[in-house]
């Protein structure tokens, strides 16, 4: 796997998260003006959030932004499931260079895609950082 390049702001966020939670950060990126995705090691989400949400609240207060922790996985299908959590997709499969989220529920599909495709763009952005050449798309479960 190639090394990720972090901009100075991402490095600062990583240092803050590691200092307040003691959890190593694999990657982080700003999704929009209000949300930051922080990719952490598997099994460390409880420590990152802290008892009663104490750590995540302190981080959000310092950064004035919401934080979404995502546990990294070597398997791209598991990684995508972690990114879209708490949404439970009908099925996630790998087809050539695509990771396909197959969903029958129209409401869930619209949540996955987001307004003007914003959520799907963010999912793809995270996936491409760790799995270059892979692209995520959402389809109907029953075709």
Annotate 107-120 with b (16+ C-beta within 10 A) or e (fewer). ebbeebbeeeeebb
Residue 113: the pLDDT is: 94
List of domains in the chain: 8-71 (3.30.300.20), 76-140 (3.30.300.20)
Q: Tens digits of per-residue pLDDT, 82-98? A: 999 999 888 999 998 99
Flag residues of the chain having pLDDT under 50: 1
CA distance 143 to 60: 42
């Amino acid at each position: 796997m190639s090394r990720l390049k972090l901009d100075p702001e991402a490095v600062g966020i990583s240092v803050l998260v590691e200092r307040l939670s003691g959890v190593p950060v694999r990657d982080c990126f700003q999704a929009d003006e209000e949300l930051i995705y922080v990719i952490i090691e598997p099994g460390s989400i409880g420590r990152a959030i802290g008892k009663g949400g104490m750590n995540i609240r302190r981080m959000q207060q310092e950064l004035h932004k919401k934080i979404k922790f995502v546990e990294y996985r070597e398997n791209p299908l598991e990684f995508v499931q972690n990114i879209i959590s708490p949404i439970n997709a009908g099925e996630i499969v790998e087809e050539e260079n695509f990771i396909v989220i197959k969903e029958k529920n129209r409401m869930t599909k619209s949540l996955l895609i987001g307004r003007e495709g914003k959520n799907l763009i963010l999912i793809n952005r995270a996936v491409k950082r760790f799995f270059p050449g892979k692209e995520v798309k959402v389809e109907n479960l029953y075709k």
